[in-house]
């Protein structure tokens, strides 16, 4: 892994004030709506509930105005000196505004506060926007998980490898 990366430079001003807070059961309906709009193979309600029950670090970003609409969420697990980014998603109409950078920077800071010295994640090679974000935030490719993600190709089920990325904290 490379040397530590200063994430403060990645914070940005977005068009309206956003508030970061812990995810709750009450958020899950909207979280599922965002998840299903973003991914062809989305997480289930049970997966999100399990993350909350287990005590993973689950965060949501919401508008501090406009009725508190959720714009995105992120989930990390932390243990044994490592953090794993499990899910990071921004509402489609709010992408490309620096919101994912802000959320990821907060999750990285949280991992550091909880004594993690590295963060890992898996990403689809075909997810160019996410790969660009992670590279910008200092993540480096450290491996590949063959046939990790499900895909549909011409009506047939297949798979796509996952790139394993790591960040020294």
Supply the CATH number for residue 14's domain. 3.40.630.30
Range of the domain at 103: 8-122
Q: Is 34 a member of any domain?
A: yes
SS3 at position 91: coil
The phi-psi region of residue 67 (left if phi > 0; otherwise alpha if psi is between -120 and 50; otherwise beta) is left
pLDDT band at 16 (very low <50, low <70, confident <90, very high): low
pLDDT in tens, 19-37: 999 999 999 999 999 999 9
Q: Is 69 a member of any domain?
A: yes
Q: Is 112 a member of any domain?
A: yes
Phi, psi (degrees; rounded to nearest 5) at 162: -115, 135
Strands 156-168 and 82-90, bridge-based pairing: unpaired
Q: Is 151 a member of any domain?
A: no
Interval 54-66 mean pLDDT:
91
110's enclosing H/E stretch is: helix 99-113
Total count of domains within the chain:
1
Q: Is 21 a member of any domain?
A: yes
Q: Which of 82, 122, 141, 160 is catalytic?
A: 122
Q: Is 133 a member of any domain?
A: no
Task: Report the predicted TM-score, pTM, of the whole model to 2 decimal places.
Answer: 0.87
Q: Is 39 a member of any domain?
A: yes
pLDDT band at 67 (very low <50, low <70, confident <90, very high): low
pLDDT in tens, 128-141: 999 999 999 999 99
Residue 98 has a pLDDT of 94
Is 35 among the residues known to form the active site?
Answer: no
Is 122 among the residues known to form the active site?
Answer: yes
- Neighbour count for residue 135 (Cβ, 10 Å): 12
Q: Is 149 a member of any domain?
A: no
Q: Which of 35, 56, 73, 134 is catalytic?
A: 134
Residue 79 has a pLDDT of 96
Q: Is the dihedral of CA 147, 145, 130, 22 positive or negative?
A: positive
């Amino acid at each position: 892994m490379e040397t530590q990366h200063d994430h403060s430079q990645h914070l940005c001003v977005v068009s309206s004030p956003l508030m970061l807070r812990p995810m709750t059961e009450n958020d899950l309906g909207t979280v599922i709506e965002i998840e299903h709009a973003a991914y062809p193979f989305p997480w289930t309600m049970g997966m999100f509930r399990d993350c909350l029950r287990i005590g993973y670090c689950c965060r949501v970003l919401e508008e501090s105005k406009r009725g508190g609409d959720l714009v995105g969420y992120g989930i990390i697990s932390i243990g044994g000196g490592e953090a794993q980014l499990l899910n990071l998603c921004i509402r489609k109409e709010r992408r490309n505004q620096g919101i994912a950078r802000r959320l990821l920077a907060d999750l990285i800071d949280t991992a550091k506060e909880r004594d993690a010295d590295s963060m890992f994640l898996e990403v689809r090679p075909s997810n160019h926007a996410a790969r660009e974000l992670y590279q910008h935030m200092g993540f480096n490719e450290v491996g590949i998980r063959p046939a990790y993600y499900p895909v549909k190709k011409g009506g047939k089920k297949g798979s796509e490898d996952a790139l394993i990325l790591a960040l020294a904290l």
